[in-house]
Structure 1
Amino acid sequence: MEAYNEIKQGEKGAWVSILAYIVLSAVKLTIGRLSGSEALMADGLNNSTDIVASIAVLVGLRISRKPPDRNHRYGHFRAETVAALIASFIMIAVGFQVLYEAVSKFWEPEIQSPDMISAWTAILCAIAMLFVYRYNYRLARKINSHALMAAAQDNRSDALVSIGAFVGIVGSQFGLAWLDPLTAVVVGVIICRTAWHIFKDASHALTDGFDEKELAEIRRTILDCKGVKRVTDIKARVHGNRILVDAVIQVSHHLNVVESHAITERIEERMRTERNISHVHIHIEPYEASSDPLISQSGS
């Protein structure tokens, strides 16, 4: 139940992003067209597609809250990861479009310097987006949402893009008119780079990839539990905002079923309190010192 409440909180972050992008994209596209700034236009176009990406994240979070059914025994938590994947496709398509339009601008016979109002628009929008980023980043960390963290990364990239647009527009006022379309090229590269990282993380999670260092920490947590002799096998995967762990442990062969079960309960409690992992499947096997290859070698 707690996981579902956390996802519901994540929807607030998605709504904040959607509303912010609607306002900022309208402002940037309008001012960019009136002032003749390619960089601000590219930034506004980026924000307009971010609306669609944020809606995809919101829909994914909504689907994730659906309870388990006979076709989805683990629930629908991975829907938010799929949403992050869709968002990355949208972003990279926009990135290529921005690059194409910016590069085409270099072949025009004369590049006009945009008005300074576009520069002040860019920097004010950057400040606003940094506030959105901080809100979504903290919320994503709190509820462990990969989709919302992807949205937060997008928010941060958008703030940096707006800062870059500001620099390019100001530079164009000093006779460097080519700096504005050049900044638009940088904007396109940043959009594509952010999309690639989101795609890589989402596809890694969807194919049951898991960080080796984090898996080693989980193994260490299990080994530290009283009564655990060895961890012979351990697997983990990301399922939306949850981590699922399957482990095979060895305990003393002198223990009865009740005593062995008590060890699994201690493991589950430590995983829940220390690592915020609520789903742990433990398989128990008997342990004998003579069967341990390290002990056998030292004894021989």
Structure 2
Amino acid sequence: MTGPDRLPPEQQTALRRAIRLEWVTLAVMSLTIAAVFAVSGQSQAMKAAWIEDTLSLLPPLAFLIAAKLARARPSSRFRYGLHRSVGVGHLVAGVALLAMGLFLIVDSGTGLLTGDRPPLGVVVIWGQVIWTGWLMIAVMALSCVGPVILGRMKTAPAEVLHDKVLYADADMNRADWQTGVATIVGVLGIGMGLWWADAAAALVVSVSILRDGWANLSGAITGLMDRRPTRFDGTDPHPLVHEIDEVLADVGWATDHGVRVRDEGHVFHVEAFLVPADGQVVTVERLAAVRRALTEISWKVQDVVVTVVAEVHTTHRPR
């Protein structure tokens, strides 16, 4: 089941919807980045918000690239296909976010310690003198709306597709209002004469970026290290592992069984181990029947290998 043309109808619909949402996200965030840059001035909080908005382009780009690469069929060079491109995209986004979060924490902390006082002047628009802080506040308030809505819309297809990159992107979008609020508070603080409010707000945004980076990086690394498969949000063990175990438990000619499941991105690769009962003849037909039963559980169960062993190792038992 490689590629969107081989997915069940529900997953095909979810994939098309996710791709559209990510293209819309790129368009919305590009406009937001341009607007924030235009009014940022010398505010550290605005600079941090602008960098976070720029970095928020990484997850949708990673998803779109991974979705395209995952369509490739297994080849002599990539025997398992390119499903792991989802995990690679997750890793790249996590590293970039973590690195920039650390940089901004140092930059914002330095500004706070040295007592930098960003000047906010005025501009004349249609003959009216306007404090630039109001422009910053307006832009930041508007910049929160699109990502929050898009983030909520991405959660459903992320669950249907079991796509952790899409879910991480949705989670970041949903939390964008926190960046907007922190930046607005920082700008208002400058207007009230609280020079430290700007650097403090930038520090809050930096910590938010760092948190997103760490969550993405740790999730990507453990996934690439073949951690036990979890749900799309990385919380509980994936229920398919226990469903596979139940199918193996029903094999009448085996006295014991085990399974090893590898999360390849959108799909699972399964190695099933069966201990045949004394006197039972293991045939190719019997093994093929078990394999068919496993692949019929879900579209996610792919590349199943069934073998017989003398005993099952404890690490092959679901917990």
Please tell me the TM-score bracket, short chain as reference: 0.7 to 0.9
| TM-score, normalised relative to structure 2 | 0.75
The 1-side partners of 2:136 and 2:256 are apart by: 60
| TM-score, normalised relative to structure 1 | 0.80
Aligned to 1:292: none
Whichever residue aligns with residue 193 of structure 1, its letter is R
Aligned to 1:267: 294
Whichever residue aligns with residue 228 of structure 2, its letter is F
Per-residue CA deviations over 1:235-282 (Å, capped at 9, x if unaligned) read: 11111211111111245554774456434433332x217xx4244322
- Bigger mean CA offset, 215-224 vs 151-160: 215-224
The 2-side partners of 1:132 and 1:208 are apart by: 30
Q: Are 1:242 and 2:267 matched, yes or no? A: yes
Shift, 1:66, TM fit: 2.0
Q: Aligned residues: percent identity?
A: 20
Per-residue CA deviations over 1:200-245 (Å, capped at 9, x if unaligned) read: 1111121222248438624543355463755433211111211111
- Which of 10, 23, 27 lines up with 1:15 in the alignment? 23
- Which of 44, 64, 67 lines up with 1:58 in the alignment? 64
Aligned to 2:117: 110
Gaps of 5+ in 2: 6-11, 121-131, 231-236, 312-319
Secondary structure of 1:116's counterpart equals: helix
- Which of 26, 31, 40 lines up with 2:46 in the alignment? 40
- Preserved contact between residue 117 and residue 196 of structure 2 (Cα < 8 Å): no
Secondary structure of 2:194's counterpart equals: coil
Task: Flag the structure with higher helix content.
Answer: 1
Gaps of 5+ in 1: 288-300
| 1:186-205 equivalent positions in 2, closer than 5 A | 186-205=204-223
- Preserved contact between residue 95 and residue 189 of structure 1 (Cα < 8 Å): yes
Q: Are 1:26 and 2:34 matched, yes or no? A: yes
* Aligned residues between the structures: 282
- Preserved contact between residue 2 and residue 72 of structure 2 (Cα < 8 Å): no
- Preserved contact between residue 73 and residue 82 of structure 2 (Cα < 8 Å): yes
Aligned to 1:227: 252
Calculate the aligned-residue CA RMSD, in Å. Answer: 3.0
Per-residue CA deviations over 1:3-24 (Å, capped at 9, x if unaligned) read: 4345963433432332222111
| 1:158-169 equivalent positions in 2, closer than 5 A | 158-169=176-187
Aligned to 1:298: none
Shift, 1:182, TM fit: 0.5
Aligned to 2:83: 77
Whichever residue aligns with residue 282 of structure 1, its letter is V
